[in-house]
Amino acid sequence: MKLIVAIIRPEKLNDVLEALFRAEVRGLTISAAQGHGGETEQVETYRGMTVKMELAPKVRLDIGVSDHFVEPTVQAILEAARTGQVGDGKIFVLPVERVYRIRTGERDEAAVTPVA
Amino acid sequence: MSDGAIAWMLISTALVLLMTPALGFFYGGLVRSKNVLNTLMMSFGALPIVGLAWALIGYSLAFAPGLPVIGDLSFALLRGVDVAAQGQIPHVLFMSFQATFAIITAALISGALVERMRFGPYLVFLALWAVLIYAPIAHWVWGGGWLAKLGALDFAGGTVVHVNAGVAAAVGALVLGQRRDYGRQAILPHHIPFTLLGAALLWLGWFGFNAGSALAANESAALAFTNTMLAPMATALVWMLLDLVRTGKVTAVGVATAIVVGLVAITPAAGFVAPLSAIALGALAAFPSYFALVWRARTRLDDSLDVCAAHGVGGLTGAILTGVFAQESWNGITDGLLFGNPMQVVIQAVAVLAVAAYTAVGTFVILRAIAAVTALRVPDLAERLGLDVSEHGEQAYTSGEGAILLLPTARPAESGVRVEPKVKQVGGSA
């Protein structure tokens, strides 16, 4: 079991969700995030004040998968989230100690296997 | 009296009253989300405080006969303010119309005081300022006082309202001091759509403000109405170009600001200049306010929402240009510099200087007097948490998550929202 954490561009979220759906990855959590990964800063002007936006809006996906699902998931995100510009984001693959499905109490592999 | 005049002035009075809540939204969009309710309340609070102070005593000091510098108390407590004719409208309506001006003028100052002033002392300041500063100045120009006799032109309040409030705002910002984050952090507007909506409602209300200042439904009102439409358009266009040259983009906050600056500038001139002159006046008025605003942001003067750059400088420009563009063939009263009467510019300048000097000293004295009795500013922790919670015990934008219902008998003070010593223990994590 792995936890895949992906930080992506908000405007690529729909493409990524579609790619994950095609790869049959069904369980995921998304959240709004802010981050900075070396992309060019956006400059904004409010009356006499000019500011540089150091943090850009990002979307974070948390996906718990069984081992054989790691590669397809990572590939789907890599392809769908890429624009080639700095700021496309990161994918982290983390080991997971245990997983429980709250509804049934199932654990580990059974807990991350989609309900048929 | 005429039915037409009464009908138009009833509508105008309601339109000008709407400008104060509109100002609240204009200002509210420009502050941070933790202070938006307090900023709105600084405008909404002016409605009861200044409105009643005006009815009880301010109106008399402004419009009762008396000395050249101030009216007497013959209209105090609305004595003798009845439905008999005052010009073409009933006296009570004239009093109501003028009340709406006092309210918006006092509320304008709040833009320089936001995000740090205690609400109670602010309301006391409003009441004192409306009675001691606004009412005498209104008397000078509109109540038959010395500036009226001198021949100063101020159709709807460029000097009485805007120079007055603009200078008072700068003094207020100086006395109050900077916000703790000013110059240290980027303080961004939290809801620019509010600001645009506020500017739109201000423009709508300003038709009552300027065209209503004809105090009749006549040619003068029609001219003022037209000029109130055209001048801000010219200001907005020039402002867009200035923004484009300086930053490469036309900003929304800039357009909202430009509309207000254009309205301010045409206010003293509205019924005195030709429509083409109004366009020129509006276009010219963009420059001083634009650069004052850019320059102010680099200084240590935390006139937070640039009341002085928009209203003080805009009012000054408008008052002087009124003396330049006034045209007797349009107003039936007098010509300005361009039409052979250079003295009018001098008279206009005298009026601006007199008003600026009186309001600067008076505002300073009132604020220091209040400060001698109680603190003007919220404590540092309250400023960090935001004045919505510290002053009003409310939040503007809340999801309700994490809110636990207390028993009906529990007092609000026990909920821990009060920013008094009790909460200081958790202050480190704020």
Domains of chain A plus CATH, in order, are 2-112 (3.30.70.120)
Pairwise CA distance, residues A18 & A25, whole Å = 10
pLDDT at A41 (0 to 100) = 76
pLDDT value at B249 more than 80: yes
CA B353 to chain centre: 18
Mean pLDDT over all residues of chain B? 94
Q: With contacts defined as CB-CB under 8 Å, which chain A residues touch B307? A: none
Residue to test with chain B: of A43, A47, A49, A53, most B Cβ within 10 A: A47
CB–CB contacts below 8 A, A to B = 30
The predicted model gives B253-278 an average pLDDT of 98
Confidence of residue B383 (pLDDT cuts 50, 70, 90): very high
Spell out the residues 6+ positions from residue B414 whose beta carbon is closer than 8 angstroms to its own. B406
Q: What pLDDT score was predicted for residue A116? A: 61
What percent of chain B is predicted at pLDDT more than 70? 95
Tracing tokens 């609240």 back to the chain, one arrives at B24
Mean pLDDT of B130-137: 98
Which range (A50-64, B21-35, B204-218, B357-371) has the least confidence? A50-64
pLDDT band at A113; cut points 50, 70, 90: confident
- Report the share of chain B in percent with pLDDT over 90: 92
User: Per-residue confidence at A115, pLDDT binned at 50, 70, 90?
Assistant: confident
B207-225 confidence digits (pLDDT tens): 999 999 999 999 999 999 9
Q: How confident is the model at residue B427 (pLDDT cuts 50, 70, 90)?
A: very low
- Give the residue among B15, B98, B84 at the shortest CA–CA distance from B55: B98
pLDDT in tens, B107-122: 999 999 999 999 999 9
For residue B249, which residues of chain A lie inside 8 Å, CB to CB? 45
Could you report the predicted ipTM of this complex, rounded to two decimals?
Answer: 0.76
Mutate to test the interface with B, among A46, A51, A54 (most CBs of B within 10 A): A46
Q: What is the mean pLDDT of residues B329-338?
A: 94
The reported pLDDT for the residue numbered A42 is: 84
pLDDT of residue B410: 56
pLDDT surpassing 80 at residue A102: yes
**pLDDT (mean) for A58-76:** 95
Residue B405 has pLDDT above 90, yes or no: no
In the structure, what pLDDT confidence band is assigned to residue B412 with cuts at 50, 70 and 90?
low
Nearest CA in chain B to A43: B247
The pLDDT, as a whole number, for residue B400 is 79
Q: B66: which strand partners? A: B71
Average of per-residue pLDDT across B229-246? 98
pTM of the full structure: 0.89
pLDDT at B413: 54
Which residues, including other chains, have CB under 8 Å from residue B416's CB and lie 6 or more apart? Answer: B422, B423
Query: Average pLDDT for residues B382-405, to the nearest whole number?
Result: 91
> Taking CB atoms and an 8 Å cutoff, what residues of chain B touch A47?
251, 253-254, 257, 293-294, 297, 306
Around Cβ B366, how many Cβ atoms within 10 Å?
23
SS3 B369: helix
User: Distance, in angstroms, between B245 CA and closest chain A CA?
Assistant: 13
**Cα-based angle B325, B330, B334 (whole degrees, multiple of 5):** 65
Going by DSSP bridges, is the β-strand pair A49-53/A2-8 parallel, antiparallel, or unpaired? unpaired
Q: Are B310 and B291 in contact (CB under 8 A)?
A: no
Which residue of chain A has the CA closest to B246? A45
C-beta atoms of B251 and A50 within 8 A: no
User: What is the average per-residue pLDDT within B363-375?
Assistant: 98
pLDDT over threshold 50, residue B344: yes
Is the predicted pLDDT of residue B12 greater than 90, yes or no? yes
Q: In the prediction, which pLDDT does B429 show?
A: 42
What does the pLDDT read at residue B409?
A: 66
pLDDT of residue B305: 97
Q: Which of B189, B246, B298 sits opposite A46 (nearest CB)?
A: B189
| Residue B165 CA to its chain's centroid (Å) | 6
CA distance B254 to chain A (A): 6
CB contact under 8 A, B296 and A48: yes
Domain boundaries, chain B: 3-373, 380-398+411-429
Q: What is the band of B406 on the pLDDT scale with cuts at 50, 70, 90?
A: confident
- Cα maximum dimension of chain A: 59
Q: Where are the beta strands (DSSP E) in chain A?
A: 2-8, 29-35, 42-46, 49-53, 56-65, 89-95
**Whether B188 contacts A51, CB under 8 Å:** yes
Show the 3-state SS of B266-292.
HCCCCCCCCHHHHHHHHHHHHHHHHHH
Cα–Cα distance between B262 and B318 in angstroms, integer? 9
CB of B231 within 8 A of CB of B325? no
Residue A5 has phi, psi (to 5 degrees) of -115, 120
* Across B90-98, average pLDDT: 98
Is residue B423 pLDDT above 70, yes or no?
Answer: no
> In this complex, do A48 and B253 lie within 8 Å of one another by their Cβ atoms?
no
Which residues lie below 8 Å from residue B284, measured CB to CB, with a gap of 6+?
B317, B321
Give the residue from chain B lying closest to A44, CA to CA.
Answer: B247
| Residues in chain B within 8 Å Cβ distance of A48 | 293-298, 306
Q: Does the structure show a pLDDT above 60 at B258?
A: yes
Residues 55 through 114 of chain A touching chain B, CB cutoff 8 Å? none
SS3 B382: helix
Q: What is the pLDDT of residue B361?
A: 98
CATH number of B3-373: 1.10.3430.10
Please, which residues have CB within 8 angstroms of residue B163's CB and are 6 or more apart in sequence?
A: B311, B312, B315, B316, B319, B352, B355, B356, B359
pLDDT of residue B430: 38
Among the ranges given (B172-186, B326-340, B412-426), the one the predictor scored with the smallest mean pLDDT? B412-426
Cα distances from B5 to residues A60, B37, B381, in angstroms, run 63, 37, 53
